[in-house]
Copies of this chain bind each other. A is one copy, B any other.
Amino acid sequence: MGDYPEPVETRHSIPQGFRFAGVHCGVKRNPNKQDLSLIVADRPSVAAGVYTANLFSAAPVQLDRERTPSRDIRIVVANSGNANACTGDRGLEDARQMAALAAKACGARDTQVLVLSTGIIGEPLPMERIQRGIELASAELGRDAEHVIEAARGIMTTDSSHKLFSRGLEDIFPNAALLGLAKGAAMIGPRMATMLGVLLTDVTLDPTEAQDLLSQAVERTFNCISVEGHMSTNDTVLLLANGEAAASPLSQTQRMAFAQNLEIVCEELARAIPSDGEGATHLIVVSVRGCKTDADARRIAETVSNSPLVKTAITGADPNWGRIVSAAGYAGVPFDVNQVTLDLNGYRLFQAGAPVRCDSHAVSHSIRDQFETRIDLDFSQGDASIRFWTSDLTAEYIRLNADYHT
């Protein structure tokens, strides 16, 4: 094996006008693990959200869905260790209460708060601990990288590292920035886990614009990752824009530049999730090109990414073209099998309906020696393309998920 995933963390361009904190308050047992985070905007901010499509959406998802898009959000309060999902009416009350406590502690109104939760499902939030955590965190808010990292740690569950990525937006406005925090990793432990993402910027967006930009970016990034195809009850990505760096709205050109940066940040965070997948020894990048429609490309990429046979082939450094093309073949998208080409790490393995003779030892070594494996499929039918990221499937994954007990 080559390099392992590392915390997505660079020079930290931190947008102005936000304060951060992450503390331990006892939702998690381990006193060394943060389990409550606060992100506070100095003034009312525009906020947008994209949420899980799972019918069992958690209480905080239901609350945030009501409250976004908005131009009046001040606070994101998040806890890990308990997802507040499948908790009925009490769960919704608790989520509202959590928002109210954060509002009170930071001098905002209840409705100016968005809530994130991740962790075990089916158990009520320990509200006394949450309250203590909010009080602790509100006393520790700060604007520097250290505080940002604490906040990123407060949303981790079985992630092996916090996930942060930022970009300066100097091309758009002097001193403007875009910062993203995320968690993912385990699709499970305990019980089932969640992808959370928070994007923060100090440019000015209006609510519809923020929602459109976020939805678009998520569609090409967070919605293109798959560890095991199991969608959580709590998946949420939020975007807050406070206008601290520039009060004027974005021009058309600036909006395009912002969209690009937003996609870059989301992509870095999204890639970090399967890279840190439970037991993962490879990040697999599945690129599908030459389809008639985006939906076709997505369907094929998703089917290949979710195939345990493809995943285990990569685990075993096996350039198994058969598993890959046959996964494409049952995706439910019509194509001419004689027009398909498959490259693995740049080696052509399949074309014209049959395998291509190649140095399979070299391909195998290229898989074994790198953390990232590239699968490229071209269908020669059109211009639609997509990229998916997934992890391989290892005995360690099974151990982690079979040994966990509710």
Interface residues of A (CB under 8 A from B): 52-56, 85-88, 120-122, 187-188, 191-192, 228-233, 306-309, 312-313, 315-316, 318-323, 325-330, 334-335, 337, 350, 352-355, 360, 364, 393-395, 397-399, 401-406
Contacts and interface: CB of A to CB of B under 8 A. Distances in A.
Given A54-B326, A229-B306, A315-B398, 9 more contacts: A56-B329, A192-B322, A229-B307, A230-B330, A233-B329, A308-B308, A313-B401, A316-B404, A322-B406
Contacts of A307: 228-230
7 contacts: A55-B335, A56-B337, A88-B353, A188-B309, A191-B322, A232-B326, A309-B401
Nearest to A350: B86
Nearest to A191: B322
Contacts of A188: 309, 323
A122 B354 contact: yes
B401 A398 contact: no
Given A122-B354, A192-B322, A325-B86, A313 B231 contact: no
A398 B394 contact: yes
Q: Chain A binding site: helix, strand, loop or mixed by DSSP?
A: loop
B56 A325 contact: yes
B231 A308 contact: no
Contacts of A318: 402, 404-406
A337 B55 contact: yes
Contacts of A395: 395, 398-399, 402
A380 to B, nearest CB: 14
B192 A228 contact: no
B322 A403 contact: no
Given A228-B309, A307-B230, A354-B86, A329 B54 contact: yes
Given A230-B327, A308-B308, A326-B231, A88 B354 contact: yes
A88 to B, nearest CB: 5
A86 B316 contact: no
A119 to B, nearest CB: 11
Contacts of A122: 321-322, 354-355
A309 B192 contact: yes
Contacts of A54: 326, 329-330
Contacts of A52: 330
A86 B322 contact: yes
A364 B397 CA distance: 21
A274 to B, nearest CB: 14
A341 to B, nearest CB: 13
Contact of A403 (B192, B316, B334): B316
A406 B308 contact: no
A364 to B, nearest CB: 8
A233 B228 CA distance: 23
